[in-house]
Structure 1
């Protein structure tokens, strides 16, 4: 298959100030932080519940952390799993891990013990950085994973006096305090960091070195680590910077509620902010809308990247009218479709903030397309390819489609992953070398119009996106099938006015067995992260199948949607 040189109409649709060409800087991620510390040493880098960290201090802390890892035996190429919410410790751990030459592994704080076990085993992580309240999940699996050392931290470690003393008292009163059994393998993060000099070990980092394993279901639903290099991640935040042409370096304030363990939050809220020397206001729990609103108002945040669910929640929260959100200038919404009404209402509440929809994939670090911040924003469109991204729509016969016709979206650019960790077979199914470029076959069906605006019209994947989180039916189905009364099961996405989609389970029970909707949901809660748990269960005597006995998920999804639509009519 060969692709002739194809037109790129999106270039003529770029708004003024957005470059038509893109050349990556070639920097590594630690170099971004080092440069910001040199340019803005006394500027606030992090704000966390009243405590602040300057860029000078953040750079020193990252160096101390790198030195601590090397002293404990971590070597270049080793994997370090980070299981933290948005706290100063996350930023320090991430950049310190890279300074030590190791590979960071983003680990969701919402993982159950079994999910954590799979990721630690698959990545081969011998080091884990974890919040104290998550420790019991690790303790449950500690004898079955390759972890040799655990650094435990708590929210109190990042607070200033007297909050650092009051927080444990509050946690004990609320019953959320965890007594961690420290020993030679389990160490207190704060003491380890304090014992090191602010001098990082000498490690020769190259842009093509893998910086991050970001786990995703990819095209098959089997969780695997996308290998994202320093060049991938730096390029993508530089591309985002070029798209947001009105950013003021050293002056912006980013409200970071979207989790850094999600690659979208890492790129847009953390790395982009460090690239431009912004103050990152950390929100550890995005579901705490009162904190989100308070921090926006108190910090006078100017940038607020998030997911549609969070914007919609703010639009409808009873406390929103009592907060001044007018400092926000621009927001890029990612990870799920953005409803026009959500964007319109948010712009009204903030007095004119531009909330635009973007598109990306974990394998692309993640941003590939964004609607213009100030130019034409087309309803239902994911926008235009950002500078440096090439995109084509490919038909079933492997040829580029004419404008307006549906095909699979392929993207290429400097942010495309190196491949999947120890999954060469899956990498070959997802990446295609052609015309001197590496193309990522997204699995999403799309169209491109004459102006270069793209629209996603369907999915090849059966991916469910709830509140910005990717849910792969196979994981849910495995949990459903482990229930002793379940004979067969399918998980599909159904429209949810708040979360975009929610998980709907369709099950058939074994002859003579009984189970209620509550029984099934309760069972899943013990095996899956909360956002993956089915919100509704439908019982059938048999699930529809193809001639090859494959369950027809799409038919079930369509029937579930039609049933819901009929009920609401």
Structure 2
């Protein structure tokens, strides 16, 4: 019999957080149906002045499901959704699942070639997209399996007279696209309006695949993680158990983190529907003025986000003009939360609890987070959430001692079924051991005696200089304490003597100045000599994913290319 692994974190749970966890067998459509039954007249979605009640949202999802069925969409068929955070996304997502189909989250930032890969790999025959994105699809239409495209626009979700004025503004801004509607390209709004909200019942199991969520592809070709209804609902229930002070039917979630990103989809959309919250939709998280105005206009109480978003708010010139004290809790995910970012955000919001969490696409995604009100350990990702098992192992797959660095493995009801049509990749990522199916995260971590985990860094991002292991996050933490630094990333560059050397890429705050020598000197006071950057590159902005995660690997490739061209010219 397998000896159970220790769970020291259970003794550190806040009062009210369940020590044991059994996921329900609810499907995602049942979450929405239940919310519509309990809170029919409560605003489910708020979008630039337009409001959708839970009753209306449930009916619209039913109409969309009926429309898909009328077009021939069967159980298990894939429906790609390429939309920003807007009411149509939520309708399309839940309607797809209600029809028994599988949603495929598709980034609005995809290039035509990236879109072609995902549509082909997923076998999507239906694509729901924003009119602005249509030209990218048109480039690849002849090479993908898509049979029908349902197109919508921002104006379709706006109240009168904004619905009439928006196209005029889009034409003025040069963003208006004339879509060639026809037999295969249809208006989403007209299609939904033509249906009654009563699709044909489809038997849906909690173990059916609900979503193909493609990984970012930073380690190779993007793969579709197969996430089941049970995976996604369980993760919402785990988060609900962790946040002990959530008030069902009363919260307002500021949804700036994109829904097509697994973190935004689970924590901003699905969790909100689980608790009957109002979701204040922000279609573009880079529009900081809109983010700030929506916080105050909606009275947002929950604000899930990513470190770069919180950091941008900390440093935006309009932030002092807004009262952000309505925010009670924020869980930061997707990337490491630097200490300075958390400290300053808490200061400007009058004490909002901004805590670091951790997760992966393959885990639906949340696995760890710091206690909202209990003991938080700076720099840690906190404790495993209810129902999550976690262990740090050495290269042979054996648990290491507390405080020792190893690879983090996680297990629980939120772990994916596998990668879509890639059993070889699944076998490399999921492993049976200690009585569980483990997701091998590829992240280097430690666990202390209390069960708090720290991510040291990605295995593949490790910088090895002169035989010493250097974790980029540690260097970035040091850079971020400099008063002039807005954003920072540390990467490794080839070094003939050391093997690799640390190269820093930074963006400075508006109106601030610093030289390479200034930042290197600053780091010398905080880091061991071998960790100090040997070179510093200045940029106005660091490249980021659609979810505002800094593209460290892209920076490394560009820095290597620049160094190579410099040597060649010399």
Cα distance in 1 between the residues matched to 2:457 and 2:118:
29
Cα distance in 2 between the residues matched to 1:493 and 1:208:
46
Mark the CA change 1:87 to 1:494 in structure 2 (over 3 Å): closer, same or farther.
farther
Cα distance in 1 between the residues matched to 2:565 and 2:258:
41
Task: Determine helix, strand or coil for the equivalent of 2:65.
Answer: helix
Report if the CA contact (8 A) 2:67-2:191 is conserved: yes
2:564 corresponds in structure 1 to 540
Report how far residue 309 of structure 1 moved.
Answer: 0.4
Mark the CA change 1:100 to 1:494 in structure 2 (over 3 Å): closer, same or farther.
farther
1:139 corresponds in structure 2 to 138
Report if the CA contact (8 A) 2:255-2:303 is conserved: yes
Report if the CA contact (8 A) 1:380-1:455 is conserved: yes
Cα distance in 1 between the residues matched to 2:237 and 2:58:
20
Cα distance in 2 between the residues matched to 1:6 and 1:126:
45
Report how far residue 136 of structure 1 moved.
Answer: 0.3
Range that drifts further, 257-266 or 388-397: 388-397
2:259 corresponds in structure 1 to 260
Per-residue CA deviation, residues 498-553 of structure 1 (Å, 9 max, x unaligned), is 89xxxxxxxxxxxxxxxxxxxxxxxx99xxx997665755232799xxxxxxxxxx
Cα distance in 2 between the residues matched to 1:29 and 1:90:
15
Report how far residue 263 of structure 1 moved.
Answer: 0.2
Task: Determine helix, strand or coil for the equivalent of 1:432.
Answer: strand
1:171 corresponds in structure 2 to 170
TM-score after normalising by structure 1:
0.83
Task: Determine helix, strand or coil for the equivalent of 1:414.
Answer: coil
Cα distance in 1 between the residues matched to 2:138 and 2:504:
36
Report if the CA contact (8 A) 2:181-2:187 is conserved: yes
1:408 corresponds in structure 2 to 407
1:229 corresponds in structure 2 to 228
Mark the CA change 1:155 to 1:321 in structure 2 (over 3 Å): closer, same or farther.
same
2:520 corresponds in structure 1 to none
Report if the CA contact (8 A) 2:308-2:549 is conserved: no
Tell me if 1:153 matches 2:152.
Answer: yes
2:55 corresponds in structure 1 to 56
1:46 corresponds in structure 2 to 45
Cα distance in 2 between the residues matched to 1:20 and 1:49:
41
2:91 corresponds in structure 1 to 92
Cα distance in 2 between the residues matched to 1:397 and 1:157:
55
Structure 1 segment 302-313 matched on structure 2, within 5 A: 302-313=301-312
Mark the CA change 1:292 to 1:493 in structure 2 (over 3 Å): closer, same or farther.
farther
Report if the CA contact (8 A) 2:444-2:456 is conserved: yes
Range that drifts further, 169-178 or 271-280: 169-178
Structure 1 segment 497-536 matched on structure 2, within 5 A: 534=555
Report how far residue 272 of structure 1 moved.
Answer: 0.3
Per-residue CA deviation, residues 354-378 of structure 1 (Å, 9 max, x unaligned), is 0000000000000000011011111
Mark the CA change 1:6 to 1:121 in structure 2 (over 3 Å): closer, same or farther.
same
Structure 1 segment 95-114 matched on structure 2, within 5 A: 95-114=94-113
Mark the CA change 1:498 to 1:452 in structure 2 (over 3 Å): closer, same or farther.
farther
Report if the CA contact (8 A) 1:309-1:498 is conserved: no
Cα distance in 2 between the residues matched to 1:363 and 1:52:
33
Task: Determine helix, strand or coil for the equivalent of 1:254.
Answer: strand
Structure 1 segment 169-318 matched on structure 2, within 5 A: 169-217=168-216, 220-318=219-317
Report if the CA contact (8 A) 1:219-1:430 is conserved: no
1:478 corresponds in structure 2 to none
Report if the CA contact (8 A) 1:44-1:55 is conserved: yes
Task: Determine helix, strand or coil for the equivalent of 1:34.
Answer: helix
Report if the CA contact (8 A) 2:5-2:434 is conserved: no
1:450 corresponds in structure 2 to 449
Task: Determine helix, strand or coil for the equivalent of 1:336.
Answer: coil
Cα distance in 2 between the residues matched to 1:123 and 1:98:
16
Report how far residue 458 of structure 1 moved.
Answer: 2.8
Mark the CA change 1:194 to 1:276 in structure 2 (over 3 Å): closer, same or farther.
same
1:385 corresponds in structure 2 to 384
Range that drifts further, 532-541 or 336-345: 532-541
2:126 corresponds in structure 1 to 127
Report how far residue 496 of structure 1 moved.
Answer: 4.1
Cα distance in 2 between the residues matched to 1:162 and 1:498:
41
Cα distance in 2 between the residues matched to 1:143 and 1:151:
17
Task: Determine helix, strand or coil for the equivalent of 1:17.
Answer: coil
2:528 corresponds in structure 1 to none
Cα distance in 2 between the residues matched to 1:436 and 1:219:
31
1:436 corresponds in structure 2 to 435
Cα distance in 2 between the residues matched to 1:218 and 1:409:
20
1:17 corresponds in structure 2 to 16
Tell me if 1:80 matches 2:49.
Answer: no
Range that drifts further, 55-64 or 392-401: 392-401
Aligned residues: 493
Report how far residue 200 of structure 1 moved.
Answer: 2.1
Report if the CA contact (8 A) 2:306-2:549 is conserved: no
Per-residue CA deviation, residues 400-436 of structure 1 (Å, 9 max, x unaligned), is 1111111111100000000000000000000012233
Task: Determine helix, strand or coil for the equivalent of 1:238.
Answer: helix
Cα distance in 2 between the residues matched to 1:357 and 1:498:
24
Q: Structure 2: 5+ residue runs without aligned partners? A: 463-471, 477-488, 492-499, 510-542
Report if the CA contact (8 A) 1:94-1:104 is conserved: yes
Mark the CA change 1:434 to 1:351 in structure 2 (over 3 Å): closer, same or farther.
same
Task: Determine helix, strand or coil for the equivalent of 1:368.
Answer: strand
Per-residue CA deviation, residues 25-68 of structure 1 (Å, 9 max, x unaligned), is 11000000000000000000000000000000000000000000
